[in-house]
Amino acid sequence: MFIRKQEITVTEKALEPVIPAGVTVICSDGVTPEQGDFIVYFPQSGIPIFRKWRVLSGETILLEALNKEADSYRASMADLTARGTIFVILSMKRTFRTIVEEKLASDPVEMFSASSEDFLTFQEAMSILKVKRTRMYALLQTGALRASKLGRLWRIERNSMNEFIRNCRKKK
């Protein structure tokens, strides 16, 4: 038996949070769907529909959406197969973008527009905050201050320092 596999990117939120939009699923039309399987329905005309397969009674099938943003559909097995192809989702894969790719996607100009005045050295930040070395490391490691590490050297964002100081003043 030959099982034809296909990769397709999920374009809708119908199966979130189980299968989020943006992931690539590997699916096959050579597998018969069973109760609770996730499927992709390829109608002869239109876009693929991602749903959960439910057999209600006899020949009635429910293509169930897992969230309120999408609709569930009822149809007979004969209607579904006459109007399209059913692929069972076998697995999924997701490629995560790096921080640099995320930043480039959101604001490519800002990504490369930083100047040396935008960053402080570890020592400069310590002296501004008047804290000891261990406290400074704690602030960096907990994310209280936004910083980058270049090899062994920390570079702390000046905006993050200003924000941190403002927040400390508000707490008093």
Q: Is the dihedral of CA 100, 105, 106, 109 positive or negative?
A: positive
In a domain, 101, yes or no: no
Residues 39 and 73 in one domain: yes
CATH code, domain carrying 68: 2.10.109.10
pLDDT in tens, 3-34: 677 788 888 888 888 888 888 888 888 888 98
Tokens describing residue 106? 């959101």
In a domain, 105, yes or no: no
Residues 9 and 56 in one domain: yes
Tokens describing residue 108? 């490519």
Residue 51, domain extent: 5-93
Residues 75 and 153 in one domain: no
Residues 20 and 70 in one domain: yes
The model scores a pTM over 0.75 = no
pLDDT in tens, 93-103: 766 555 555 56
Q: Is the dihedral of CA 97, 103, 107, 111 positive or negative?
A: negative
Into how many domains does the chain fold? Answer: 2
